[in-house]
Amino acid sequence: MRPQDTVIPNITIDLQRAVQAALEEDIGDGDITAQLIPEDRSARARVITREDCTLSGRAWVEAVFLALDRELKLTWYYEDGEQLSANAVIFELEGNARSILTGERTALNFLQTLSGTATTAAEFSAKAQGTEVKILDTRKTIPGLRSAQKYAVLCGGCHNHRIGLYDAFLIKENHIAAAGGIDRAVAQARVIKPEALIEVEVETIGELEQALAAGVDVIMLDEFSDEDTRVALALTKNKAKIEISGSVDRDRIAQLSALEVNYISSGSLTKHLRAIDLSLRIDL
């Protein structure tokens, strides 16, 4: 698995669970259409992309087909993270025709979805090229595909925010209100999990000053104007890292990157994806 041998927790376990669930919902008690084909019929197949894209999802495809038939042979022509042109042959399959056709839709669903995520991430990453800013994803992922989409974001050249609710604190407006203020929320976070990163979302310069006084690691500026962002950077002066969030689309990335913040996060990387148009062609 690439790229660069991801450190996303539990990704291998998540992959197997996702593949098992996807096969079960599609096959049920048996693929009755595949039974039209003689049981011993062999075939070759190739998978083609109909449009330019960034590839992601090889491991999920392999897991689908090998769960059905370990005798199938897959030959890949591209690595995850590579840029593909329309009509490129991504990989070829050889083996039992029934197994190939039974796994086709599930495998392509994973590949088109994760490549769609990676392609969006690559477009965002390109907008920040030449700057030090890191483009981050969010938790706005497809249920059951959190680690898969986080991996696809890496394939596109962007970066992961926290994986879930367990690995970092992100203290937002409702947390602040329920905890009794920024200072109290941050103090309690240090008691609960002292080693965890603490990030606070702020909506005003006053809240930013409170977060700085509490000594947090990262401050997220929610819906700040460019002018207020510059004020926030001047006040922060490397006391904490600054993240911009809220209404961030690919058209604003270059403008926001010029502000020299540390991070820009966008739910669009994972929630606004468009699946890539892929096609499997079989030769009996």
Map out the domains of the chain as residue ranges. 11-125+273-283, 126-271
Q: For residues 71-109, b (16+ Cβ closer than 10 Å) or e, as one string?
A: ebebeeebebbbebeeebebbbbebbbbbbbbbbebbbb
Q: Phi-psi region for residue 71, left (φ > 0), alpha (ψ -120 to 50) or beta?
A: alpha
Work out the average pLDDT over 96-107: 98
Catalytic choice (44, 140, 230, 241): 140
Half-sphere exposure of 275 (CA within 13 A, CB side): 10
pTM for this entry: 0.94
172 has catalytic annotation: yes
Catalytic choice (17, 41, 105, 274): 105
pLDDT at 6: 62
237 has catalytic annotation: no
134 has catalytic annotation: no
Q: Look at residues 75, 77, 73 and name the one whose alpha carbon lies nearest to residue 55.
A: 77
Strands 263-265 and 241-245: parallel
Catalytic choice (201, 207, 243, 250): 201
pLDDT at 63: 98
Catalytic choice (123, 222, 228, 277): 222
201 has catalytic annotation: yes
Say if CB 15 and CB 59 are below 8 A apart. Answer: yes
Q: Give the model confidence (pLDDT) of 170-215 as tens digits.
A: 999 999 999 999 999 999 999 999 999 999 999 999 999 999 999 9
Its CATH architecture, for the domain 11-125+273-283, is: Alpha-Beta Complex (3.90)
pLDDT at 2: 62
Which amino acid appears at position 98 of this protein?
A: R
Measured CA to CA, the distance from residue 219 to residue 20 in angstroms comes to: 39
Residue recorded with tokens 């039992």: 96
Quote the percentage of the chain above a pLDDT of 70.
Answer: 98
Measured CA to CA, the distance from residue 103 to residue 228 in angstroms comes to: 52
Catalytic choice (172, 230, 241, 252): 172
Half-sphere exposure of 199 (CA within 13 A, CB side): 21
The answer to whether residue 7 scores a pLDDT higher than 80 is no
Could you tell me the two tokens for 25? 């919902």
Q: Give the model confidence (pLDDT) of 254-278 as tens digits.
A: 888 888 899 999 999 999 989 999 9
First and final CA of the chain: distance in angstroms?
Answer: 31
What angle (nearest 5°) sits at the alpha carbon of residue 75, between those of residues 71 and 80?
120
pLDDT at 167: 94
Q: What are phi and psi of 102, to 5 degrees?
A: -65, -40
Q: Give the model confidence (pLDDT) of 110-134 as tens digits.
A: 999 999 999 999 999 999 998 899 9
State which CATH number among 3.10.20.30, 3.40.50.970, 3.20.20.70, 3.30.830.10 fits the domain covering 126-271. Answer: 3.20.20.70
Q: CA-CA distances (angstroms) from residue 283 to 42, 61, 182, 237?
A: 9, 19, 63, 63
The answer to whether residue 29 scores a pLDDT higher than 80 is yes
